[in-house]
Amino acid sequence: MDEIAAALGDGARWRIVELLAERPRSVGELAELTGLRQPQTTKHLQTLARAGLVTVFPLGQRRVYALEAAPLTGLERALRLLVETVEANADERDVVERYRAAIDAETAVAERDRWADGRAFTFDRTLAAPREVVWRHWVEADLLGSWLAPPSMTITDCALEPRPGGRAVLDYRDPEGRRYRSAGKVGAATEPGHLAFDLAVLDESGAVSFTGHYDLTLDPVRDGTRLRLGLTITDTSVEAVPYIAGIGTGWGQVLDNLAARIGGTATKEAQS
């Protein structure tokens, strides 16, 4: 398939294929119709032949080339599958588009430090698991690391130690090797129903971009556990725009990760 795609990726060869789709033709005829010299036309036909796209028929002193439909049918199936995959994952593209729009919107209002202080977010999920299980996924580092990273990111360190003054940290890196760091501490912890913690998002120099104040409650419900995560931000710098713009989408994605891991559905997601 790679060889077929490469062979068809040249404009002159594509024109030759279009002409051969109508009927078999000789090198001379193809050269005349494409405006190429015969040696060039022959080289293009050789490339198409190596990819299995054309067959040559010696007819006395003439050589006539014919197009083979089977490789094109295979390419058609591959392209159809590709289109279906794109359509099935349209939400992923929507996430990127919404994030880009959010960055533009936040940039327009981020004129000075503390521009977003006091902004609050609320996320809700109903999870099909006992709250003791959900609690463990927040306070045990291995389980926390299994769902907390956004798509394409890799967690390098994470912890929420469930005691006042406990360590709160989230470090991860992207595929290009850039590091993203957050650090803070736990303010309150009541197993298995309540966890309050702060996380300051740090820039490359270690300065605070903004601080998130989180309040997590886990309540038993008929179908499992209702998770409610409140977030209020302070200490926002002008440079925090990409982080602030991504809060809604980012937390929505990682909580979806958690729901997928232990079972559950999104009930609502609010921002104020």
Average predicted confidence (pLDDT) for the chain = 92
Average pLDDT of the segment spanning 11-22: 96
Tens digits of residue pLDDT in 236-259: 999 999 999 999 999 999 999 999
Residue 265 has a pLDDT of 56
Average pLDDT of the segment spanning 153-176: 95
Q: 87: which 2 tokens?
A: 């359509």
Listed in sequence order, the residues at least 6 apart from 42 whose beta carbon sits closer than 8 Å to its beta carbon are 27
Task: Please say if the pLDDT value at position 99 is more than 90.
Answer: no
Tens digits of residue pLDDT in 25-40: 999 999 999 999 999 9
Q: How confident is the model at residue 59 (pLDDT cuts 50, 70, 90)?
A: confident
Tens digits of residue pLDDT in 177-188: 989 999 999 999
DSSP codes, 24-54 = -EEHHHHHHHHT--HHHHHHHHHHHHHTTSE
Q: Which residues of 94-130 are buried (b: 16+ CB within 10 A; e: fewer)?
A: ebeeebeebbeebeeebeeeebbeebebebebbbebe
Average pLDDT of the segment spanning 200-208: 92
CA-closest candidate to residue 44, choices 62, 69, 71, 20 = 20
Residue 271 has a pLDDT of 52
